[in-house]
Amino acid sequence: MPTGLSVHIGLNQVDPVAYDGWSGELNACEQDAADMARLAGAAGFEVTGPLLGAAATAEAVTSALETAAGRLAEGDILFLTYSGHGGQVPDLNHDETGDRLDGTWVLYDRQLVDDELFALFGKFAKGVRIWMLSDSCHSGTVARRLPEVLSAGELGRRFDTDDPHEVGRRLRAMPQPVQSAVYARDRDLYDRIQKTCTAKDLAKIDASVLHISGCQDNQTSADGAVNGLFTGTLLEVWRGGAFPGSYRALHREIVKRMPPDQTPHLVMAGAERPAFARQRPFTI
């Protein structure tokens, strides 16, 4: 019988010492992680954590994924969720196209660069499935402009306020000035990380990865009072297990219910396994 492990990460704030005085306060990320852990446990997954707030360090996340990689074999599955701020650092190993920026998860003590995440995925055995949900956004520039491009009525509907400062606080992206200050201060660290995670290494992923993100790369993900907009919509669609469809069907139904400026994205990486996307979510 296959084994299912799950790791859930949620941060309502980060260590301001690590982020040039910015604490990144959010409302619902830790609840997102708790809700995903609850669903995973009910579906028979062995749950790690959840890793919340100060417990969600780069070392803790890395350790949890390395432990999972050591335990899972062909036919097994990892369910990984992240809810919090996203960030960006300059892409030095040329594994990105377009804006030449690497996305990050803004963990409590430092950013986890997407190169690191995919290097960790490279430690999983062939035939392992990895389902990843990330309710965050990476573009601080887009986040800053959102109050300028949405009407007051739309801002009020989405964020319960039309105040630009409050709207900015309810978006899950590290502000651009903070990104710049943190990278300038910790450039040696983030450059070293990318130099050790080369584009060639990132191509060597034997596991099959199915990633559903809360928005497109050029969009923002909204926080909420209870859950993030993406996570809350997923829970509505799933309906406690009443939803009968596949991963792709789940993604399509979530997209139908989301506003046009936040479109969840499904992408597959690693070893090709088309049947993975046709399977039922939360199934081991």
Pick from 2-16, 66-80, 101-115: least confident: 101-115
Question: Chain-wide mean pLDDT for the chain?
Answer: 85
In 3D space, the residue among 172, 167, 278 whose CA is nearest the CA of residue 231 turns out to be 172
The answer to whether residue 96 scores a pLDDT higher than 90 is no
The answer to whether residue 72 scores a pLDDT higher than 60 is yes
User: Which pLDDT does position 174 carry in this prediction?
Assistant: 86
How is the chain split into domains, by residue range? 4-278
Helix (H) or strand (E) holding 117: helix 114-121
Strands (E), 95-137: 101-106, 111-113, 129-135
pLDDT tens-digit profile of 6-33? 999 999 999 999 999 999 999 999 999 9
pLDDT mean over 69-78: 98
| Annotation: CATH topology of 4-278 | Rossmann fold (3.40.50)
Sheet holding 46-52, edge to edge: 46-52, 4-10, 77-83, 129-135, 208-213, 265-270
The answer to whether residue 83 scores a pLDDT higher than 50 is yes
Measured in whole angstroms, how far is the alpha carbon of residue 22 from the centre of its chain?
Answer: 20
pLDDT tens-digit profile of 241-279? 999 999 999 999 999 998 887 888 898 988 889 899 999
pLDDT tens-digit profile of 145-193? 334 434 445 444 555 544 444 444 557 778 888 989 999 999 999 889 8
The answer to whether residue 92 scores a pLDDT higher than 50 is yes
Written as six digits, the tokens of 162 are 């039309």
263 three-class SS? coil
pLDDT tens-digit profile of 181-235? 999 999 999 889 888 876 545 557 899 999 998 887 666 677 788 898 899 999 9
pLDDT tens-digit profile of 126-140? 999 999 999 987 643
